[in-house]
A and B are shown apart, each in its own frame.
Chain A
Amino acid sequence: MELIEGVLSYLGSEAFLLGAVNTIKLTLVSQIVAVVLGFIIALAKMSRWKPLQGLAASYIWIFRGIPVLVQLIFVYNALPQFGIKLSGFQSAFVALALNEAAYMAEIVRSGLASVGKGQHRAAHALGMNNWQRMRYVVLPQAFRVIVPPTANQFIGMLKTSAMASVVGYTDLLLTAQQTASANFDYIDTLIAAVIYYLAFTALFTFVQSYLERRMDTTRTKKRQPKLFSGLKNREPNRIV
């Protein structure tokens, strides 16, 4: 009983509410910026211009290859020596967004690549320009492939954001640690933080399944059993 009361008092405390808000703020801002950057890097990687492809590939290699914690400490501790001094939030945001962009680039790229050549060609033949083809034909189809893993990345980012506590950003984890360092109540404080994390994860999962259902129902509402099983609509295997 005492444990529950203790946890509840932390959950409702101002410090933990602020920590929760800070965690969610860092998560959303970093992940959203990473999605945008991921699109740009994916397009660069798929461009016909070799140097741009190389640049994108190097970006992905570097930012995926170095541990996030190393990137974070570099931004917070090493950049000031080049005259760039960032706050805990700013450092965490920069490091997490740049790192995550490398993963998002791969997700976006596989989504764009899932839209077959025939779709591009048909749109082209109808007189659509590059932008129209992207906007009306490629992206709506690519989104079906991109959205589910992106929602997973949001959940991943929620957890990765806890690293921001090492650069003094008062997120959930740092709040729990600071509270406990005053009263040694590690169990209650950590449980309170964990409850917030799990609640946010549940919320993201809910949004994810909602989005997936919605993308599907636009098509399945009127779906009927396949009447034509002998359907041969695939192109023979060869280079077109």
Chain B
Amino acid sequence: MLQIKQVSKKYHGEPILKDVSLEIKEGERVVIIGPSGSGKSTLLRCMAGLESIDGGLILYNGQDVNGSRHSRSEIGMVFQSFDLFQHLSAIQNIMLAPKVVKRVSDQDARSRAVQLLERVRLSDRAEHYPEQLSGGQQQRIAIARALAMNPKLMLFDEPTSALDPEMTSEVLDVIVDLVKDGMTVVIVTHEMEFARRVGDRIIFMDQGKVVEDLPSSQLEEAAKHPRLKQFLNQITSY
């Protein structure tokens, strides 16, 4: 589905991604972990075609994601900071992209949005504006907004790390539902328990490189890399 071939990326001359290669197959649930600054968000943005790359190739079903509007509309992305459109209500946030990008009629966009609001359990918040919603609610609307474009692949960049603990589970539940329905997902997260629950493959990044790529069931046993061991220890010792 998504092929990442020897991708490198620099910011102001400083290498951030170094020769990253990965393949994501349809139906896979990939979790990316790694220390802060290791390039996880950058990699995800590159996958979504939001950033130019300095070397290598990213192919979505054989098409370059950069410059292909088609692939971009099939890849949905959810950000740590939600980034709901502040001037639009929840339901308008969900309806906007189908209407302007896919030219779906207002009526069709609305009925689809109503379904999605139900799916993220926020039917009663349709007319609320982002500033009137809690963080967890905003993030669920952001997920619904991405789903409105009918993506085949969903990318989540630390979807709960800006949330209070009590709001984390409401967002994670929505993602778990999505995964149960067979959505292909790539998730960057620090929630190890969640990572093991939804992920069938765990990728560990460090300093711009993929240093481990394991089935999640073997995380502890197979963790050979000293950096990964150290990272897991740090996380669990909280």
Whether chain B is bound by chain A comes out as yes
- At the interface, is chain B mostly helix, strand, loop or mixed? loop
Query: Interface digits, A196-234 against B, CB 8 Å rule (1 contact, 0 not)?
Result: 000000000000000000000011001110111011111
Residues of A within 8 A of B149 (CB): 126-127
Nearest-CB residue, chain B, relative to A118: B83
Nearest-CB residue, chain B, relative to A221: B127
Q: Considering the chains assembled together, what is the distance between the CA atoms of A84 and B141 in angstroms?
A: 59
Q: Considering the chains assembled together, what is the distance between the CA atoms of A235 and B128 in angstroms?
A: 22
Q: Considering the chains assembled together, what is the distance between the CA atoms of A231 and B149 in angstroms?
A: 28
Contact between B86 and A119, CB atoms less than 8 A apart: yes
Size class of the contact patch on chain B? 35 or more
Per the CB 8 Å criterion, the residue count for chain A at the interface is 34
Nearest-CB residue, chain B, relative to A124: B50
Contact between A231 and B132, CB atoms less than 8 A apart: no
B224 at the interface (CB under 8 A from A): no
Query: Interface digits, B108-146 against A, CB 8 Å rule (1 contact, 0 not)?
Result: 000000000000000000011100111100100010011
A36 at the interface (CB under 8 A from B): no
Nearest-CB residue, chain B, relative to A233: B135
Residues of A within 8 A of B84 (CB): 122
Contact between A122 and B162, CB atoms less than 8 A apart: no
Residues of B within 8 A of A119 (CB): 83, 85-86
A66 at the interface (CB under 8 A from B): no
Residues A121 and B101 in contact in the complex (CB < 8 Å), given A136-B96, A235-B162: no
Q: Considering the chains assembled together, what is the distance between the CA atoms of A228 and B136 in angstroms?
A: 10
Contact between A121 and B97, CB atoms less than 8 A apart: no
Binds A, one of B68-76, B189-197, B200-208, B227-235: B68-76
